[in-house]
Amino acid sequence: MYTNPLYRPPSEARSLIIQLTEGCSYNKCTFCGMYKDKPFRLRSPEEIRTHIEYLKQYDPRPDKIFIADGNFLCLSTDKILTHLQMVKSNFPSATRISCYAGPLDLIRKTSEDLTAIRNGGLDMLYMGVESGNDEVLKRINKGVTSKEMIEAGKKAVKHGFTFSCMIISGLGGDELSQAHALDSAKVISEIDPQYFALLTLNLEPNTPLYQQVMKGEFTLMSPDDIMIETYKMIEALSLTNCVFRSNHVSNYVNLSGILNKEKAAILKKIKVAMSSRDYTPEYFRRL
Ligand code: SF4
């Protein structure tokens, strides 16, 4: 019933996943192997009907729903609204519907589009910012600048979506680590989302960046250097009331707290972990 591989944010672990689209219509980021072998498409009405009937047997009264795959928001606003209505009428118990949001899709939508989509029942968006540094964004082929990333994020927040941003530690390598830390802190602070997740670079062999590592064109950072970068990034953040999580399987140290309120405690935890080199082992990061 699902076309694999299937991805969802860690915080959607208990949500019902409804796969309305497959793949990512952009699919050009050099570090991302999620949908490299899965061309983007909107599933046919017949496929969606069968999928929904199957899901209803398995989980008829979900509390939360996550719409997969990569970028449901790239569809036309009319199509998004039709599908949201269909999801809501089949699963009226759901109190939250969420999906991934690409920055380009958010930028393309007008204010009227986003208001209609928010009112149509889409509550939460997850956007991969990846880095706030323009050179890193260019090298990973993200397709937007840091300015556009801020524009996309602010648009989502302004239109009432609960908003979650993700940054990837180590994405600039040693060369751009300092700029990646400080510029990412700047972009996340400007957007001021309700949720901020920090993951650590963990490459699949089917990605262009993995090939660059194999050719010696990009060097993965050591756990110590990743933690120095993390410390700098968190220290430079200025957030109103943001749930921070860095407890993904890719992370060397599990961190969480409210930013900025609990910044001092998070920074202290990083220092303690660094002094004892208490890091998640590499084999576990690849599970
Ligand atoms: S990171 Fe997101 S936008 Fe980039 S290729 Fe992967 S799914 Fe698509």
> Which ligand 1 atom lies nearest to the CA of residue 70?
7
- Residue bearing the bigger pLDDT, 37 or 224: 224
Classified as helix, coil or strand, 246 is: strand
47-82: pLDDT as tens digits = 999 999 999 999 999 999 999 999 999 999 999 999
The structural architecture, per CATH, of the domain 10-285 is Alpha-Beta Barrel (3.20)
Is the minimum distance from the CB of 23 to ligand 1 under 6 angstroms? no
Q: Which pLDDT belongs to residue 282?
A: 86
Secondary structure string (H, E, C) spanning the chain? CCCCCCCCCHHHCCCEEEECEECCCCCCCCCCCCCCCCCCEECCHHHHHHHHHHHHHHCCCCCEEEEECCCHHHCCHHHHHHHHHHHHHHCCCCCEEEEECCHHHHHHCCHHHHHHHHHCCCCEEEEEEECCCHHHHHHCCCCCCHHHHHHHHHHHHHCCCEEEEEEEECCCCCCCHHHHHHHHHHHHHHHCCCEEEEEECCCCCCCHHHHHHHCCCCCCCCHHHHHHHHHHHHHHCCCCCEEEEECCCCCCCCEEEEECCCHHHHHHHHHHHHHHCCCCCHHHHCC
How far from 1 is each of 58, 63, 201, CA to CA, in Å? 11, 20, 30
**CA dist., res. 145 & res. 268, Å (int):** 32
Q: Which pLDDT belongs to residue 260?
A: 96
- Looking at every residue in the chain, the average pLDDT score rounds to 96
The contacts of residue 77 (CB under 8 Å, 6+ apart) are 109, 113, 116, 117
How many Å lie between the centroid of ligand 1 and the Cα of residue 50?
A: 27
The best mutation among 6, 32, 107 to test binding of ligand 1, ranked by most ligand atoms within 8 Å of the C-beta, falls on 32
> What confidence category does residue 286 fall into, taking pLDDT thresholds of 50, 70 and 90?
low
Determine the average pLDDT of the residues in 106-132. Answer: 98
- pLDDT of residue 43 exceeding 60, the answer is yes
Q: What percentage of the chain exceeds 70 in pLDDT?
A: 99
> Which ligand 1 atom lies nearest to the CA of residue 24?
8
Q: What is the pTM of this model?
A: 0.96
